Amino acid sequence: MKTFPFLIFLTFSLGIGQHLNAQKFTFQEGYIIPNNNDTIWGEVEDDRLSSSVIVVFRNSNGGVFSIPIEELRGFRCGNDTYARMKNKKKHEFVKICATGKIFLYESIRTEYSADHRSYTITTWFMRFEGETELIKIKKYDFKASVRSIFSDTPKLLELFNQGKYTHKDFPDFIKRCNEYCQEQSQGTTE
């Protein structure tokens, strides 16, 4: 009869283990970059990308790992690349939306109202090539904020004033700026 409690314990333990292994993750091909700058290829779970706490990673052997944000410099999931940044004394992953003379990063947070409805907040951060300082693009004062940032680059400011850019399509403006800068560096103008 001593084996009966052990069999119950074993059955219960196996049931819990099967439940954890049965969790459904949606993975996309990608890689992670730990703090030591190695690139480890595998698959990254894409349902939790807005999480600023962990990245779920499956290596080539099928092992699944939850990796805390502090242990990663960044990762790639499918076609999207994310970098770790510090914002208001906490780390978060931001999507890299544009690179070139101007780098653009997107931060998406989910917030909840008092009546438990969720909504997302998109924040843009940018930096110029060779600079480390991130500039937050203010949504509530978008046009004035952008004009202030580009006040010493008249041609880029002119591009902004010609377009009907909003906070939502700010990446289009940055991509256009990078194209213009690329054209200028190649000696061609429109």
Residue 33 is part of a domain; what is its CATH number? 2.30.30
**Is 76 within the bounds of a domain?**
yes
Give the number of domains in the chain.
Answer: 1
Whether 181 and 98 have beta carbons less than 8 Å apart is answered as: no
For residue 79, what are the domain limits? 23-84
pLDDT string in tens for the chain (190-residue length)? 444 443 333 333 333 333 334 457 788 899 999 999 889 999 998 765 555 567 888 888 888 888 888 899 999 989 999 988 876 677 888 899 999 999 999 988 777 888 888 888 888 999 999 998 889 888 888 999 899 998 888 888 888 888 788 898 899 999 999 999 898 888 754 4
Residue 153's CB is within 10 A of a number of other CB atoms, namely 16
Q: Is 6 left (phi over 0), alpha (psi -120 to 50) or beta?
A: alpha
**Is 36 within the bounds of a domain?**
yes
**Is 162 within the bounds of a domain?**
no
Burial class (CB in 10 A: 0-12, 13-18, 19+), 124: buried
**Is 37 within the bounds of a domain?**
yes
Burial class (CB in 10 A: 0-12, 13-18, 19+), 45: buried
The helix/strand/coil state of 2 is coil
Whether 96 and 85 have beta carbons less than 8 Å apart is answered as: no
**Is 66 within the bounds of a domain?**
yes
Q: Is 150 left (phi over 0), alpha (psi -120 to 50) or beta?
A: alpha
Q: How far apart are CA 168 and CA 179, in angstroms?
A: 19
**Is 33 within the bounds of a domain?**
yes
Residue 118's CB is within 10 A of a number of other CB atoms, namely 8
Tokens representing 45 are: 């779970």
**Is 59 within the bounds of a domain?**
yes
**Is 56 within the bounds of a domain?**
yes
